Amino acid sequence: MDNKGKQLLNGDEAVAAAAFDAGITLGTGYPGTPSTEILEEFERLGGHAQWAPNEKVALEVGIGVAIAGGRTVVTMKHVGLNVAADPLFTVALMDIPGALVIVSADDPGMSSSQNEQDNRRYAVAAGVVMLEPSDAQEAYEFTLRAIEIAECWHLPVMLRLTTRVCHSKTLVMREGVSVPQSRVPEYVRNVSRRSMIPANARPAHKKLRESLAQIAQWNERSGPTEVIAGSGTLGIITSGISYQHVREAAPEASVLKIGMTHPLPMETIERFAATVDRCIAIEEGDPYLYEAIRTAGIEVEDKPSMYRFGELNIQRVRRIIAGDCSTEAKPVPGKPPALCPGCPHRTVFTSLKALNCIVSGDIGCYGLGVLPPFEAIDISVCMGASIGVGLGLRHALAEPEAKRVISVIGDGTFFHSGLTGIAEMVYNPPKTGHVVLLLDNGTTAMTGMQEHPGTGRTLDHHKTGKILIEEVIKSMGIKNVHIVDATRDPAAFEGLIQSSLDKSELSVIINRRPCLLAVKSIKEYEKCNEQNN
Amino acid sequence: MNKITNIVVAGLGGQGVLKASDIIADVAFLAGFDVKKSETHGMSQRGGSVSSDIRFGEHVFSPMVPDGEADFLVVLTADQVEVNAAALSSCGVLVEPSQVDETKLGNKKSINVALLGTLSRHLKFSDEQWIEAIKRNLPEALHATNIEAFHTAKNAGVTS
Ligand SMILES: Cc1ncc(C[n+]2csc(CCOP(=O)(O)OP(=O)(O)O)c2C)c(N)n1
Ligand code: SF4
């Protein structure tokens, strides 16, 4: 045995390696577990990567790169694609000569997400080609194939990863995998295929459906499909990480592993199903393969509904095959995560609890304010929702309760999708006013201390334009803007919150104190940037 | 025969679970095995429970160790033993901090690597391979303390 020429990489690192080897012009995206390491690693390898303020902007930048004939990977977690869905559905109709590879990192089992949406549905809904690797080697290869397919068909390609592919290290051989030759970007005008007014979009939609039909044919002949010949008694149709569990849970089974899961190679599936006595679709999350295969009139079994929730593993696959629906052993609960000792968010939640506020929360480390000992957050939906939801509560509740409502949002989340909430607040102020508490800890802490437009540093921590939160908020028309540090003076902080709630005016209170885990690095980056000035 | 060795490393965020598992995966890699390593580290920085699975052999498919099939369970802190006990097979070996004399460690933070010293007594990798893997996964400034921690635990009289 020998591992010469191989590396041990996780799925994210493998995508980054492929992006680097393919000479990707620009990597862009927005941090989100489990996708964050792709761009960080790509940058570390020497590629050019940027964090966008949010996923929609990242995808739009990526569209521009690909229209110019360049290559780009646009990375995000599954919920990020919701934010980027608007450009996604229309770029699918366009002719883009470069390579636009959209990486969606899904999180079945919600290891660190607010839902477990299955983004294979997006590929179908938007009409986008999708590849699904099952380990790091395939993450490497499929990224390169995605670039090839994108450039061949002039269409965007989605690479769907899941947490276990992103965060599992497996052997990767980069040598011997053909890397598509890159071209120098240049602008070629093609207005009818790039400016999606109705007159252009109507024929473009027809063209997209034709292309997808052709790609489905290509997938039948040359797609990344694998057939493992087995006993013929049991046949399993699968994709992604589920394939790995299947091979171990049922070594005797015949297996059809689909690499391109949209558009599906339905004739291949039909032929496979005909060779086995019992055919079952084993997939994590939604019954995506099952529904598509049944709709095509092919006999296939779905997994019992209880296995739709959470990740699959070897045991669960064994149970699916056995049709075992008995209650699964509950894991012993581990220690839940908590705000770090000395975290600047701590005092804030102690105060909000003491003041009996109705807290419309947001997504970030401060989301841990939901858990004991604080239990200070009432509601959290998605990034940026704290402000809109807080305003809605204020509009609907009677005055005494309305005046207890406060929106709590982080600095990273503010730039991602809080600005429009502030616009709404100025434009449609509730009668009782509103109070927004902006927790400025100087970083995107939750996902691992990434920079954002308010830090004044790029993805690789170099100096760049810096947006001052307080200036933006003032210029948007908020008169009561306070900058405080609750940790330094909790009593004054509590007093300010109470007096702001009592007024029927709009207030934004910025709690400014750096994240304890980031403070040392922030000082180093700043020192380094000063020296380079 | 394709015998797979299953190892689970567990502890709390910040204790070096992922580093320890990286080193084990790397030593198996250096020895020429097919190896897969998986981890859940979404919230690991905030001190919650973290665990990581390493599997190696001639050919490995799933990166996750099935419950009750771990040959070794390495736990970095006593209070996480119970949480992870279900991972261990009935004839599996538990490696835990009580098997290492912490007072003999240059730096208590090296407990993760020290426990690898204890684990190494049960595995057929050479010292050179372990040292190489430790060096590849830690910054140079930490090499000496950690290599010493590894040897101290490996050569300790305490057996498991
Ligand atoms: C649409 C979307 N993109 C990305 C994420 C991943 N994510 C979770 S919290 C967070 C940002 C947290 O930053 P900030 O608001 O500054 O709070 P902090 O963690 O620093 O307290 C991100 C990017 C997400 N949940 N949703
Ligand atoms: S990482 Fe920073 S923001 Fe997050 S809990 Fe720790 S100190 Fe607080």
Q: Which residue, chain included where needed, has tokens 């709590």? A: A408
Tokens linked to A33: 């577990």
A334 vs A426, more confident: A426
**Chain A interface test: which of B37, B62, B129 (most A C-beta within 10 Å):** B62
A299 at interface of B, judged by CB pairs closer than 8 A: no
Q: Over the stretch A103-142, which tens digit does the pLDDT of each residue have?
A: 999 999 998 899 999 999 999 999 999 999 999 999 999 9
Residues in chain B: 160
Question: Which is it for strands A254-257 and A168-173: parallel, antiparallel or unpaired?
Answer: unpaired
Select from A111, A245, A368 the Cβ nearest to the Cβ of B40: A111
| Average pLDDT value for residue range A42-53 | 98
Select from A8, A171, A247 the Cβ nearest to the Cβ of B61: A247
Q: Over the stretch A202-211, which tens digit does the pLDDT of each residue have?
A: 999 999 999 9
- Rounded to 10°, the helix B127-137/B17-30 angle is 130
B48 at interface of A, judged by CB pairs closer than 8 A: yes
A443 alpha carbon – ligand 2 mean position (Å): 10
Please, which pLDDT band fits residue A487 given cuts at 50, 70 and 90?
Answer: very high
pLDDT of amino acid A155: 98
| Average pLDDT value for residue range B110-123 | 96
Q: Whose CA is nearest to atom 2 of ligand 2?
A: A515
CA distance A37 to A186: 30
A247 at interface of B, judged by CB pairs closer than 8 A: yes
A59 contacts A71 by C-beta, under 8 angstroms: no
A491 alpha carbon – ligand 1 mean position (Å): 28
| Average pLDDT value for residue range A149-169 | 98
Nearest residue to A235 (alpha-carbon basis) of A194, A175, A276, A295 = A276
Cα separations (Å) of A51 from A48, A62, A162, A333, A475?
A: 11, 12, 21, 35, 25
Q: Is the CB of A363 under 6 A from ligand 1?
A: yes
CA distance A100 to A153: 11
How many cross-chain Cβ pairs, A to B, lie less than 8 Å apart?
Answer: 115
pTM: 0.97
Please, which pLDDT band fits residue A333 given cuts at 50, 70 and 90?
Answer: confident
Q: How far is B156 from chain A (nearest CA, A)?
A: 30
Domain edges within chain A: 6-222, 225-322, 344-532
Please, which pLDDT band fits residue A509 given cuts at 50, 70 and 90?
Answer: very high
Please count the other Cβ atoms lying within 10 Å of the Cβ belonging to residue A196. Answer: 16
Domain edges within chain B: 5-154
* Superfamily of domain A6-222 in the CATH hierarchy: Thiamin diphosphate (ThDP)-binding fold, Pyr/PP domains (3.40.50.970)
CATH of A344-532, one of 3.40.50.970, 1.10.10.10, 3.90.1170.40, 2.60.40.10: 3.40.50.970
Q: Over the stretch A370-388, which tens digit does the pLDDT of each residue have?
A: 998 999 999 999 999 999 9
- Average per-residue pLDDT for chain A: 97
Whether A344-532 and A6-222 are alike in CATH topology: the answer is yes
Cα separations (Å) of A399 from A396, A428, A432, A501?
A: 9, 17, 7, 11
Q: Is the CB of A77 under 6 A from ligand 1?
A: yes
Question: Which is it for strands A99-106 and A129-131: parallel, antiparallel or unpaired?
Answer: unpaired
Q: Is the CB of A522 under 6 A from ligand 2?
A: no
Whether B159 has a pLDDT exceeding 60, the answer reads no
In degrees to the nearest 10, what's the CA dihedral of A291, A294, A299, A302?
20
Please count the other Cβ atoms lying within 10 Å of the Cβ belonging to residue A191. Answer: 8
CA distance A345 to A408: 11
CA distance A504 to A403: 8
Q: Is the CB of A365 under 6 A from ligand 1?
A: yes
CA distance A215 to A134: 21
A177 contacts A9 by C-beta, under 8 angstroms: no
**Cβ separation A164–B85 shorter than 8 A:** no
Q: Whose CA is nearest to atom 6 of ligand 2?
A: A340
| Average pLDDT value for residue range A4-13 | 97
Tokens linked to A278: 């019992």
| Average pLDDT value for residue range B82-107 | 93
**Cβ separation A329–B13 shorter than 8 A:** no
- CB-based burial label for A432 (10 Å; 0-12, 13-18, 19+): buried
pLDDT of amino acid B43: 60
Tokens linked to B141: 């400034």
Q: Which residues contact A166 (CB under 8 A, 6 or more apart)?
A: A10, A11, A12, A34, A35, A37, A105
Q: Over the stretch A254-294, which tens digit does the pLDDT of each residue have?
A: 999 999 999 999 999 999 999 999 999 999 999 999 999 99
pLDDT of amino acid B42: 54
Q: Which residues contact A489 (CB under 8 A, 6 or more apart)?
A: none
B45 alpha carbon – ligand 2 mean position (Å): 8
Tokens linked to A206: 């027809």
A167 vs B1, more confident: A167
Q: How far is A86 from chain B (nearest CA, A)?
A: 28
For B61, the closest chain A residue by CA position comes to: A244
3-state helix, strand, coil in chain A (%, to 5): 40, 20, 40
pLDDT of amino acid B44: 56
* Superfamily of domain B5-154 in the CATH hierarchy: Pyruvate-ferredoxin oxidoreductase, PFOR, domain III (3.40.920.10)
**CB-CB neighbors (< 8 A) of B15 in chain A:** none
CA distance A171 to A13: 11
CA distance A437 to A497: 9
A331 at interface of B, judged by CB pairs closer than 8 A: yes
Q: How far is B43 from chain A (nearest CA, A)?
A: 6
Q: Which residue, chain included where needed, has tokens 């990567």? A: A49
**Cβ separation A135–B63 shorter than 8 A:** yes
A100 contacts A150 by C-beta, under 8 angstroms: yes
**Cβ separation B39–A33 shorter than 8 A:** no
Residue environment code for A235-264, b if the CB has 16+ CB neighbours within 10 A, otherwise e: bbbbbbbbbbbbbbbbeebbbbbbbbbbbb
pLDDT of amino acid A533: 75
A258 contacts A282 by C-beta, under 8 angstroms: no
For A366, the closest chain B residue by CA position comes to: B46
Q: Over the stretch A194-240, which tens digit does the pLDDT of each residue have?
A: 999 999 999 999 999 999 999 999 999 999 999 999 999 999 999 99
The third-level CATH classification (topology) of the domain covering A225-322 is: Rossmann fold (3.40.50)
For residue A78, what is the enclosing H or E element?
helix A78-83
**Cβ separation B46–A167 shorter than 8 A:** no
Nearest residue to A71 (alpha-carbon basis) of A133, A131, A151 = A151
- Looking at residue A457, the DSSP 8-state letter turns out to be B
- Average per-residue pLDDT for chain B: 92
What SS3 class is residue A375? coil
B38 at interface of A, judged by CB pairs closer than 8 A: yes
Please, which pLDDT band fits residue B160 given cuts at 50, 70 and 90?
Answer: very low
Q: Whose CA is nearest to atom 6 of ligand 1?
A: A32
> Quick one: which ligand is closest to A445's CA?
1
> Quick one: which ligand is closest to A75's CA?
1
